[in-house]
Amino acid sequence: MGLSSSSLSLSSAVSSSSLVSSFSSCSLSGTDSRGTGPAFVFVVDSCSAEEELRALTNELLLAVAQLPENALVGLITFDSMVRVHDLGFSECSRVVVFHGERELSSDQIRQFLGIYGTKQQQLGKTPVVQKQCFLLPVSECEFNITKAIEEIHSSVQVMPGHRPQRSTGAAIAAAVGLLEGCLVNTGSRIMVFTSGPATVGPGIIVDSDLSNAIRTHRDLINGHAPYYRKSSNFYRQLSQRLSDASIVLDFFACSLDQVGGAELKAPVESSGGFMMLGESFESNQFRKCLRHIFNCDHDGNLKMYFDVTIEIVTTKDVKICGALGPCVSLRKKNSLVSENEVGEGGTSMWKLGTLTNKTSLAFFFQVGDDQKVQPGSAFFIQFITSYRHGNMGIRKRVTTAARRWVGKHSPEITAGFDQEAAASVMARLSIHRAERCYARDVIRWLDDTLIRFTSTFGDYVQEDPSSFRLSSNFSLYPQFMYYLRRSQFIDVFNSTPDETAFFRLMLNREGVVGSLIMIQPTLFQYSFDGPPVPVLLDVRSISPDVILLFDSYFYVVIHYGSKIAQWRKLGYEKDPNHENLRKLLEAPELDAEQLVAERVPVPKLIKCDQHSSQARFLLAKLNPSVTQNSTYTDGADFIFTDDLSLQVFIDHLQALAVQD
């Protein structure tokens, strides 16, 4: 299900267009009379290098300038200590300091900050900003928050052979405690900016001693990551508190090493937060990501939606199994909820910390006994989405989908199959399994599922693989599964735990189009023969006299054939007589820039020549139809690998599908 932010704004009750029978959705809107805006707490790692901090603070100042005057802001900085800044005290800089090694409860944090929520506040009826001034409207503290951000300087004092002392977990816990005490269920964000792993306190990732390497996937499998389980449990406990208080956790990490994204995945994903793994706060990637979050609409309201709930109502013969995506089950169980849980199940209602116009959730249903339903009769599924708009007004959008029951073997089932959507859903199910199973078990499950699928929907003569055929509605599905098996979501050999967490988090919230690009990247060929054309994701598509544009969603590669690269190095495109070469070189760059510009997080742009080391980013994703073991290569490039080619995979699949 894709959730669109383009809800209809209604001045009275229901839009007149919603009453037309051909419309499936209606939207309601209300205003918030309290005038309190969303809350933002910036959590900044002061162990970062000075030049990195300068770039970061410049962007934070721009972000504060974008906030509406009624938005609430707070600031926390951390190294080995956690400092909560008092923004209401203008005589000098005043902070409350926590030791980074201590794991404090929410009550202890509120007690130290002097925040005492009343019973009325706890019920969410009167969100009040405490007079201690750790969280204030921008209109009251713009000078103080600007001054506090400008005064952030690098506090890194590192012993030789050691990492900086970072207490990231304690700083996040302090931010959660602050928001729990000052705001309840009105929408808020904790935005963490760090340049290294936590080395002290709760949520520790690795020792400060550099002789102890940060954990790898092999360490996680073999149980050689001493802090992973405890730190992951710490952040999972925070996840529930974030959900209860409608808090979103964003994590911006700019470092050449891992920073703990794998441990932090649970609270970021369940709250619907943003994760960015970059190399520097000075990069365009970071600037674009942060500015994108603080975009405003034409009315000057932030394009943010908070405190989201989605409720599903179905007819009695359709049971709700669960959902996969950036959501949390509210465990609201009724007669419509199936005992068979998938993902966040056991409920008919889910909580999301936030949503955007690109947020996508996958819902799973179980069909009841087909003996009880009458083919041709209708059934209904209704989605009720409630959220706070950027202006803090309450919105509700109700979408009703009506479908007809058909017989078990009806041709309408095959005619209505969407293989692209099916591949996207299977990818989510796969990474959900991969969180608790070995990769080989996930691949075995994918293979078994695909064999049963093709055996059921294929046309063939038993025991005759050459007779096997799939209709056009199903023909691409095995190909999608082949590339999913080889993807970085399942095969983590060449990725760090942080990268794997980021890849899976992004896949679990992306729509069908974006998911397919992640699973099976696109490849376009540019040549003198005409406009760019899509080509097979195959090693045979590489040629000395063409340019390839490869898009895997997370990175974009411009690959120059050896002849093109040689002409470019000789500067032929600068000669007016070689105008066609200049245009050929420009075309993929313009298209690549457009891909990079429209996507957040910003994909990495890689330019490489044929046979260069950077060409590995392309070769690793291509179908190895020609390898070192091929007897006839036709002069094409080949890949050194033992992986099965797509054709061999399909041949094996057909042989297994036609077995009796």
Tell me the pLDDT tens digit for each residue of 598-612. 899 999 999 999 999
- Flag whether pLDDT at 393 surpasses 50: yes
Averaged pLDDT, 165-189: 89
pLDDT of 363 strictly over 70: yes
pLDDT at 30: 76
- Which pLDDT belongs to residue 34? 60
**CA–CA separation, 450 vs 476, rounded Å?**
12
Question: Is it true that the peptide bond before 601 is cis, omega within 30 degrees of 0?
Answer: yes
Q: Which of 27-36, 166-175, 624-633 has the lowest mean pLDDT?
A: 624-633
Point out the least confidently predicted range of 77-91, 124-138, 381-395: 124-138
Q: What is the pLDDT of residues 412-441, one digit of tens each?
A: 989 999 999 999 999 999 999 999 999 999
Which domains are seen in the chain, by residue range? Answer: 16-31+303-408 (2.60.40.1670), 41-76+86-96+118-293 (3.40.50.410), 425-657 (3.40.20.10)
Cβ atoms of residues 442 and 481 within 8 Å: no
Mean pLDDT for 461-469 is 95
Query: pLDDT tens digit string along 488-530?
Result: 999 998 899 999 999 999 999 999 999 999 999 999 999 999 9
Give me the pLDDT at residue 126, please. Answer: 43
- Calculate the CA dihedral of residues 79, 284, 249, 115 and round it to 10 degrees: 50
8 A C-beta contact, residue 487 and residue 506: no
In this model, does residue 185 exceed pLDDT 70?
A: no
Whole-number percent of the chain with pLDDT over 90: 76
Q: Which tokens belong to 556?
A: 């974009």
Q: What are phi and psi of 357, to 5 degrees?
A: -75, 0
The pLDDT value recorded for residue 18 is 41
pLDDT tens, residue by residue, 492-502: 988 999 999 99
The answer, yes or no, to whether residue 568 has pLDDT greater than 50, is: yes
Q: Is the pLDDT of residue 479 over 80?
A: yes
**Confidence (pLDDT) at 5:** 37
How does pLDDT run across 203-231, given as a tens digit for each residue? 999 999 999 999 999 999 999 999 999 99
Average pLDDT, the chain: 90
Whole-number pLDDT of residue 344: 97
What pLDDT score was predicted for residue 300? 82
Rounded distance between C-alpha atoms, residue 285 and residue 292, angstroms = 11
Supply the pLDDT for residue 374. 82
Furthest CA-CA distance within the chain = 86
Range name among 34-38, 79-83, 476-480, 514-518 with the lowest pLDDT average? 34-38
Kindly tell me the sign of the dihedral angle through the C-alpha atoms of 295, 180, 98, 234: negative
**Which is it for strands 459-461 and 464-469: parallel, antiparallel or unpaired?**
antiparallel
Q: Is the pLDDT of residue 183 over 80?
A: no
- Residue 122 CB: number of other CB atoms within 10 A? 13
pLDDT at 86 over 70: yes
pLDDT value of position 16: 38
CB 190 within 8 A of CB 200: no
pLDDT at position 4 over 50: no
**pLDDT at 174 (0 to 100):** 97
pLDDT average, residue stretch 60-71: 93
Is residue 633 pLDDT above 60, yes or no?
no
Interatomic CA distance for residues 5 and 15, integer angstroms: 16
pLDDT at position 352, please?
95
The pLDDT value given to residue 127:
45
pLDDT digits (tens, 9 = 90+) for 296-351: 888 888 889 999 999 999 998 899 999 999 999 999 999 999 999 999 999 999 99
Q: Name which residue leads in pLDDT, 187 or 580.
A: 580
Work out whether the CA dihedral 116, 391, 268, 364 comes out positive or negative: positive
Q: What is the pLDDT of residue 598?
A: 86
pLDDT at 10 over 60: no
pLDDT band at 11 (very low <50, low <70, confident <90, very high): very low
Q: What is the pTM of this model?
A: 0.91
Q: What is the pLDDT of residue 2?
A: 47
Q: What 3-state DSSP class applies to 438?
A: coil
Q: What does the pLDDT average to over 384-411?
A: 90
Q: What is the pLDDT of residue 626?
A: 75
For helices 477-486 and 439-457, give the axis angle rounded to 10 degrees.
Answer: 170
Query: Mind spelling out the 3-state secondary structure of 134-183?
Result: CCEEHHHHHHHHHHHHHCCCCCCCCCCCECCCCCHHHHHHHHHHHHHHHC
Task: Provide the pLDDT confidence category of residue 33 given band limits of 50, 70 and 90.
Answer: low
Q: What is the pLDDT of residue 371?
A: 64
